Amino acid sequence: MKKSFVAIVCLLGIVSALFSAWGTVSAQDPKNDPADYKIVMIVKQSDSWFDDMAAGIEQLKKDTGLNVSVQVPETGDAASQIAIMENLIAQGVDAICIVPNDPEALIPTIQKARDAGIVVVTHEAPGIADKVDLDVEAFVNEEFGQLFGENLAKAMDGKGSYAGFVGGLTMETHMAWYKAAVEYISENYPEMKPLTDEPYEDKNSVDGAYNKTLEILTAYPEINGFFDCSAHGGGISQALSEKGKAGTVKVVSLALPSMSSTYLKDGSMQHGQAWRPADAGYATCYAAYLIASGQGIETGADLKATGYDNVNVVDNIAYGFAPLEFTADNIDNYNF
């Protein structure tokens, strides 16, 4: 009986030693340390919007120790983004996050990355959510688009002609917002009419919005309003001011406070709306880490950024609750 007891004690000691040794190896596994997960965010282009996103991603690095960085394409198109992705695939990074200029054009390269074992997480690309590990959105895009329509209608007193801008016709979220805005106006304000069936493109630039607005004012001097789904509606305001129409022709735009404050205060823009790029970048890259580390994402997950602390996951899209609205009365409350 004593021999059996001694044998059992010895066996337990061996098992304990094995578990202890396993724990030591596990603790030394570099993949238990966020610093050893290499995650790269590819933004659309170099501008103030994505500068703010980069600031959020740098904050994520400070908060978690995650090896996360930002790469900016030389030009704002799919080809430049694909070139960066190919390089990252060759490097064997753990995750690629991307805000696509043309989501459909990226699908073959996304598949190549995933075939290589690289996690791919998108932002502003719900239409290809089934092609990636996850898409992260600040809100339901149709609801955000309706805000454009609602606020333009209020500014125009529910009547008159208007034009809508997008950064580019291939930009999925811009097109979704544009269509939702036009549908909302059509259903609720029959005295408001769009100048064209398709939106105009401002090429995601203030100069593009400015030049296109001058063309529209020449062709349609009777126009009563504009809304811009890219963050460059300041170009519209500049053109209206130059032509003496500021405040008379109404403007609603996607807008950063730092890019729109002057126009909201001088009355050449009536309403701005957005989400915080820094928070979106933070949440998207943190989601990529959770997936790459095997923790996964499900409804209720906390992505550690304002508006993304209790996401709703539907059809591989993680929705936050992060819309922001700006007017002359509250613009000074924001500092980005």
In the predicted model, is pLDDT for residue 180 greater than 60? yes
The b-or-e profile of 5-38 (16+ CB within 10 A means b, else e) is eeeeeeeeeeeeeeeeeeeeeeeeeeeeebeebb
- Binning pLDDT at 50, 70 and 90, where does residue 31 land? confident
Give percent of the chain above pLDDT 70: 91
Greater confidence (280 vs 10) lies with 280
- The CATH number for 141-274, chosen from 3.40.190.10, 3.30.565.10, 3.40.50.2300, 1.10.10.10, is 3.40.50.2300
Lowest mean pLDDT among 7-11, 205-209, 221-225, 264-268: 7-11
Indicate the pTM of the whole model: 0.87
d(CA 291, CA 117): 12
In the predicted model, is pLDDT for residue 18 greater than 90? no
pLDDT, position 21: 36
Residues in the chain: 336
For the chain, the distance separating the N- and C-terminal CA atoms, rounded to the nearest angstrom, is 76
Residue 65 φ/ψ region, left for φ over 0, alpha for ψ in the -120 to 50 degree band, beta for the rest: left
pLDDT, position 162: 98
- Tens-place pLDDT, residues 267-317: 999 999 999 999 999 999 999 999 999 999 999 999 999 999 999 999 999
- Tens-place pLDDT, residues 46-72: 999 999 999 999 999 999 999 999 999
- Tens-place pLDDT, residues 82-132: 999 999 999 999 999 999 999 999 999 999 999 999 999 999 999 999 999
- The residues spanned by each domain of the chain are 33-138+277-321, 141-274
pLDDT, position 17: 39
CATH architecture, domain 33-138+277-321: 3-Layer(aba) Sandwich (3.40)
